[in-house]
Structure 1
Amino acid sequence: MRKWFRRQVSESYQRMLRRQLDDTPTHVAIIQDGNRRYAREQGDDAPEGHREGAETTEQVLEWCDELGVEELTLYAFSTENFDRPEEELEPLFDLLESKLYEFADADRVHENGVRIGAIGDVERLPERVREAVTYAESQTAEYDTLRLNIALAYGGRSELLGAAREIARDVESGELEPDDVDVTAVEARLARHTTRDVDLIVRTGGDERTSNFLPWHANGNEAAVYFCAPYWPEFSKADFLRGLRTYESRERSWRQSRTERAVALVRAVTETELADARAVAHRLRSKLPSAGAKEVSAELERQRGADPAEGAD
């Protein structure tokens, strides 16, 4: 009875959060933190935490499909993770390999049109993981309803450094002119599977940092960030919805700010133009007969009175 009541309360809360959302981010990126700490608190080894975290990943894919998120990027394995003990790395590589094959063959992936792609220095991974990446990408290459980017052996600085080196080589070889080095040139040399800027970063596990994750696509876009306490295996749909609510709140604030700036600009331009018109009218009145001067003054007053209506149009 107690479990049933908690489930009912949780589902009611989720429905309330869902009703509060008008806009859904197009691209969500998640730092899946806390697997090892979760395992320790449960009395298990780190691999068990990673396995339970993989189940959360499957749920998040379903939520994204349900809510209309078009791209999801998961920080599954960073370049710093190579420093972990061998007894932890090998089971993690086994899990990555098995989950990539499982995702690539899952009916729901094909039914929902999920395209899987890896970003990062994949060549640093064991051959068996690289083969799983190739298989998952090839099996889903024709889909584009939801893009699932899995960051493996990924580091944001390394990605930018790689793009800078490639640009330098292309300029030196004459394939690229220095004046042609622009945003498009840089983006063409970044992760090939990330197709758009990140709207929202979610980090689980309680730490409030973005850990060198997607600096070009997220930080460059001033993505909304939602930090939450639950470890990744504990991450719930309510947590996800609260993250989306953070994004919407940021968007609402930006829209209001942009509106206020636009209104201020219109007012400033209007005031300047009116001031210029008054100066011109003053000069003209001194050179016109009295009837003409009165007509110029009337036209100035008419423009001044019409201005608020024009601004509201």
Structure 2
Amino acid sequence: MQGWLERRVQSLYEQLLRTDLDEVPTHVAVIQDGNRRYARERGDAVTNGHREGAETTEQVLEWCEELGIEELTLYAFSTENFERPADEREALFDLIEGKLREFADADRVHENGVCIRTLGDIERLPDRVQEVVDYAEERTREYDSFVLNIALAYGGRSELLSATRRILQQVEEGTLSPADLDVETVESQLYDRPVRAVDLIIRTGGDERTSNFLPWYANGNEAAVYFCTPYWPEFSKPEFLRSIRTYQHREQAWQRTRLSRALTLVKGLGDTRTEEARRILEGSNDVPDVDGVGPALPVEDDADSA
């Protein structure tokens, strides 16, 4: 009876959170932290924590598709993970190999048009993992409905450093002029296919840091960040929805700031132009008060208070 009641309460809470959302991020990046701690606190082998975490990953994919999120990036294996004990590394490689092949062959991946891509220094991985990476990417290359990026042997600084070296080489060879260097040039050296700017980073496990994850696409876009205490295997749908609400509140706060600045600028153009600008901007209810131009609105904190 208690189990049924708990499930019912959680279902109602999920519905409440869902109705509170009217916009979702396009690209969500997740740092899946806490698999090992989850297993150790339960007296299990570390590999069991990673396996349960893989089940959470599949659920998150479903939630993203349900909400209309278009791109998901998972921090699956960092360059620092190479320092872990050999037996743990091999178990992780086995899990990655098996799950990637499973995803590549899954009917729902092909039915939903999921494009699987990997980010990172893939050549550092064992041959068997590189082979399944090629297999998964090739099988889903033509899909564009949803993008699943899996960061393997990944490090944000090393990624930027490698791109910089390639650009310098082009300059030295005379195929690129320093005057032509722009954002598109850098992005073309990061990945062979475009990656959307990151709108939201989620980190589980209690640590409040982004671990140098996707610095070009996240920091450059000033992505919202949601830290939560559950370990990755415990990460739930209500927690996911709260992270989306954090993003939404951040976007609304930015919109109010932009409107406030715009109205402040047009205030100096004269009453007629100010009124005209006000009518244009009043498509949103979030028109701030600028010397009596519009109603005052409270400024919400970027962080989710729940």
Q: Distance in 1 between matches of 2:203 and 2:116?
A: 21
- For the pair shown, the structure with the greater C-alpha radius of gyration is 1
Retained in 2: the 8 A contact 1:149–1:193? Answer: no
- 1:217 aligned counterpart, secondary structure: helix
How far apart are 1:62 and its partner, in Å? 0.5
| Preserved contact between residue 263 and residue 278 of structure 2 (Cα < 8 Å) | no
CA contact (8 A) 2:266 2:273 kept: no
Task: Identify the residue that residue 96 of structure 1 maps to in structure 2.
Answer: 96
Distance 1:136 1:174, change over 3 A: same
1:56 maps to 56
Q: Structure 1 residue 260: deviation in Å?
A: 0.2
Q: Is the contact between residue 115 and residue 145 of structure 1 (CA under 8 Å) also seen in structure 2?
A: yes
Q: CA deviation at 1:192?
A: 3.1
1:109 positional shift: 0.8
Structure 1 position 182 matched with structure 2 position 182: yes
Cα deviation 1:71-120 (Å, max 9, x = unaligned): 00000000000000011101000000000000000111111111101000
Classify the secondary structure of the residue corresponding to 1:29. Answer: strand
Q: What CA deviation, in whole Å up to 9, does each residue of 1:19-78 have, x standing for no partner?
A: 010101000000000000000011111111000000000000101111000000000000
The 1:129–1:75 alpha-carbon spacing in structure 2 relative to 1, beyond 3 Å, is same
Distance 1:195 1:308, change over 3 A: closer
- For residues 118 and 273 of structure 2, the distance between their equivalents in structure 1, rounded to whole angstroms, comes to 55
Q: CA deviation at 1:268?
A: 2.9
How do 1:1-313 residues align onto structure 2 when only pairs under 5 Å count?
Answer: 1-193=1-193, 195-270=195-270, 306-313=272-279
Task: Provide the rounded CA distance (Å) in 1 between the counterparts of 2:219 and 2:127.
Answer: 32
User: Hey, what's the Cα distance between the residues in 2 that align with 1:87 and 1:194?
Assistant: 35
Aligned residues: 279
Query: Which residue identity lines up with residue 275 of structure 2 in the other structure?
Result: A
Aligned position for 2:289: none
Which digits, 9 at most, give the CA deviation of each residue in 1:224-255, with x for residues without a partner?
00000000000011111000000000000000
Partner SS state of residue 75, structure 2: strand
> Conserved in 1, the CA contact under 8 Å of 2:163 and 2:186?
yes
Aligned to 2:284: none
Counterpart of 1:241, as a letter, is L
Query: Which structure's residues are more often helix, by fraction?
Result: 1
Assess if the C-alpha contact under 8 Å between 2:28 and 2:198 holds in 1: yes
Native 8 Å contact 2:171 2:178 kept in 1 = yes
SS in 1 for 2:167: helix
* Equivalent pair of 1:32/1:232 in contact (CA under 8 Å): yes
Q: Judging changes above 3 Å, is the alpha-carbon distance between structure 1 residues 203 and 194 closer, same or farther for their aligned structure 2 residues?
A: farther
Distance 1:196 1:307 in 2: 37
- Read off the aligned partner of 2:69 and give its amino acid letter: V
**SS in structure 2 opposite 1:218?**
helix
Task: State the secondary structure of the residue aligned to 2:53.
Answer: helix
Q: Name the SS of the counterpart of 1:116 in structure 2.
A: strand
Shift of 1:194: 5.1
Q: d(CA) in 2 for partners of 1:255 and 1:114?
A: 32
Contact preservation (8 Å) 2:187, 2:194: no
Pairwise CA RMSD: 1.0
After TM superposition, give the deviation of residue 309 of structure 1 in Å: 3.3
Identity of aligned residues (%): 65
Structure 2 distance, partners of 1:216, 1:103, is: 27
How much has 1:193 moved relative to structure 2?
Answer: 4.6
Structure 1, unpaired ranges of 5+: 271-303
Q: Could you tell me whether the CA contact under 8 Å between 2:266 and 2:274 is conserved in 1?
A: no
TM-score (norm 2): 0.89
**Which has the larger displacement, 190-199 or 12-21?**
190-199
The TM-score, its normalising length taken from structure 1, stands at 0.87
Corresponding letter in the other structure for 1:309: E
Letter paired with 1:255: Q
